[in-house]
Amino acid sequence: MLARQVFHARKPRWMAGVLRLEDYLKTRGWLKHKRCSHRRTLSENTLKRFSEHLKKDRGLAGSTIQGQNKYLRRLLVFIGVDRRRAALRELKLERVHRFLRRASQRCSRRTMKGVVGIIRGFLRFQYTQGVLRELLHTQIDSVRVYREELLPHPLRWLELQKLLQRMDRSTSLGSRDFTILLLAASYGLRRSEVAALTLDDIDWRTRTLRIFQTKTRQTLALPITAPIGRALVVYLRKGRPTSDRRQLFLRLRAPLVQKAR
Tell whether 226 and 180 lie within a shared domain. yes
Q: pLDDT band for 57, please (50, 70, 90 cuts).
A: very high
Q: How many domains does the chain fold into?
A: 2
Any domain includes 18: no
Any domain includes 200: yes
Tell whether 60 and 131 lie within a shared domain. yes
**How far from the centroid of its chain's Cα atoms is residue 141's Cα?**
26
pLDDT (0 to 100) of residue 198: 93
Average pLDDT over residues 234-252: 88
pLDDT (0 to 100) of residue 22: 75
Tell whether 44 and 132 lie within a shared domain. yes
pLDDT (0 to 100) of residue 34: 56
Tell whether 128 and 188 lie within a shared domain. no
Question: Which CATH number characterizes residue 196's domain?
Answer: 1.10.443.10
Any domain includes 62: yes
Query: What is the rounded average pLDDT for all residues in the chain?
Result: 84
Question: Which CATH number characterizes residue 120's domain?
Answer: 1.10.150
HSE value, Cβ hemisphere, 13 Å, CA-based, for 179: 29
**In this predicted model, which residue has the larger pLDDT, 156 or 162?**
162
Tell whether 95 and 176 lie within a shared domain. no
Question: What range does the domain containing 50 cover?
Answer: 40-138
Q: pLDDT band for 13, please (50, 70, 90 cuts).
A: low
Q: What angle do CA 163, 260, 21 make, to 5 degrees?
A: 135
Residue 151, pLDDT above cutoff 90: no
pLDDT (0 to 100) of residue 158: 81
Q: Give the pTM.
A: 0.49
Q: What is the 3 state secondary structure string of the chain?
A: CHHHHHHHHHCHHHHHHHHHHHHHHHHCCCCCCCCCCCCCCHHHHHHHHHHHHHHHCCCCCHHHHHHHHHHHHHHHHHHCCCCCCCCCCCCCHHHHHHHHHHHHCCCCHHHHHHHHHHHHHHHHHHHHCCCCCCCHHHCCCCCCCCCCCCCCCCCCHHHHHHHHHHCCCCCHHHHHHHHHHHHHHHHCCCHHHHHCCEHHHEECCCCEEEEEECCCCEEEEEECCHHHHHHHHHHHHHHCCCCCCCECCECCCCCCCECCC
Any domain includes 72: yes
Residues 179 and 185: beta-carbon distance below 8 Å: no
Residue 213, pLDDT above cutoff 90: no
Percent of the chain with pLDDT over 70: 81
Tell whether 176 and 226 lie within a shared domain. yes
Residue 254, pLDDT above cutoff 80: no
Residue 5, pLDDT above cutoff 60: no
Percent of the chain with pLDDT over 90: 48
Residue 201, pLDDT above cutoff 90: yes
Tell whether 121 and 193 lie within a shared domain. no
Tell whether 47 and 98 lie within a shared domain. yes
Tell whether 97 and 129 lie within a shared domain. yes
Any domain includes 128: yes
Average pLDDT over residues 13-33: 69
Tell whether 235 and 176 lie within a shared domain. yes
pLDDT (0 to 100) of residue 257: 56
Q: pLDDT band for 10, please (50, 70, 90 cuts).
A: low
